[in-house]
Amino acid sequence: MSETILEAEGLTKEFAGFTAVNNVNLAVRRGTIHALIGPNGAGKTTVFNLLTKFLTPSAGVIRYKGRDITAMRPADVARLGIVRSFQISAVFPHLTVRENVRIALQRELGTSFHFWRSEKSLARLHGRADELIAAVGLAGYEDVLAVELPYGRKRALEIATTLALDPEMLLLDEPMAGLGHEDIDRISALIKKVAADRTVLMVEHNLSVVATLSDTITVLTRGRVLAEGDYETVSNNPEVREAYMGTGHA
């Protein structure tokens, strides 16, 4: 078994008397695709926001590569190499596809506060940006405004932008939400490709996607971990089956 890269211990989040996430332990192993599933309201997205520091946990510890990141701010977590996506596709709508990717690349130049410098100085990033755009199958769309892309391609653009940071770990919040069949196949293939040398943690509703992609699955209900294991183990777990009854999935 490979080493743990991201670890949560006793993770808890309370919202004014309501416990959304209750004492969750989670260990994501390096180089795997780990899926977080569960019925609506199970606290998946909350766990996600806690891990990326978009929410502050009420209790518990989060460790990334053995380092305690519980008190860190979201931008700092991103700089450590944990980059997240969002449920609603996260692009910059009125920037072009190339500008979207370039925003992610430009931070490395260290000139992001230089308001006196011409943006022409960013042109040297275009080669790398176009490579990333081509890698997700968006070649030819470089100068299109992101808002004009069909939904599936926005998702691809979002992945290209995320990859521009060369993160060690990707957190994908429902990457398939709102996608049509052909897009699901394309984005699945993309995630698989991307995960070859990275670690992926994703929240996903589409169980066939979860079944084909994930190495490990954690099932949440009512803010607690119900079961964990590979698809085989989890799908045969009677409690999991019961939790999913009536939601039309399992």
The residue among 103, 139, 138 whose CA lies nearest residue 122 is 103
Tokens 């332990």 map to which residue? 25
Contact 85, 171 (CB under 8 A): yes
Closer Cβ to other proteins, 103 or 211, answer by number: 103
Tokens 């070859």 map to which residue? 196
Quick check: 52 binds other proteins (CB under 8 A)?
Answer: yes
Pairing of strands 59-64, 67-68: antiparallel
Q: Would you state the torsion angle of the CA atoms of residues 238, 242, 244, 248, taken in this order, to the nearest 10 degrees?
A: 110
Question: Which DSSP helix (H) or strand (E) runs through 142?
Answer: none
Interacting residues with other proteins between 19 and 48 (CB under 8 A): none
How many residues belong to the site for other proteins (CB under 8 A)? 46
Closer Cβ to other proteins, 71 or 139, answer by number: 139
In the bound complex, what is the minimum distance in angstroms from residue 218's beta carbon to other proteins?
22
Interacting residues with other proteins between 184 and 243 (CB under 8 A): none
Reduced to 3 states (helix: H, G, I; strand: E, B; else coil), residue 96 is strand
- Which token pair is 63? 């460790």
Quick check: 139 binds other proteins (CB under 8 A)?
Answer: yes
Interacting residues with other proteins between 71 and 130 (CB under 8 A): 73-76, 78-79, 83-86, 90-95, 99, 102-104, 106-107, 109, 111-119, 121-122
In the bound complex, what is the minimum distance in angstroms from residue 38's beta carbon to other proteins?
23
Q: What are the φ and ψ backbone dihedral angles of 9, each rounded to 5 degrees?
A: -130, 120
Closer Cβ to other proteins, 95 or 135, answer by number: 95
Q: What are the φ and ψ backbone dihedral angles of 193, each rounded to 5 degrees?
A: -65, -45
Exactly one of 22, 32, 46, 161 binds other proteins (CB under 8 A); that residue is: 161
The residue among 246, 244, 242, 85 whose CA lies nearest residue 175 is 85
In the bound complex, what is the minimum distance in angstroms from residue 146's beta carbon to other proteins?
9
Task: Specify the stretch interacting with other proteins by CB under 8 A; choose among 6-14, 21-29, 68-76, 179-187.
Answer: 68-76
- Which token pair is 40? 């609506």
- Provide the binding-site residues for other proteins, judged by CB under 8 A: 52, 54, 73-76, 78-79, 83-86, 90-95, 99, 102-104, 106-107, 109, 111-119, 121-122, 137-141, 143-144, 148, 161, 165
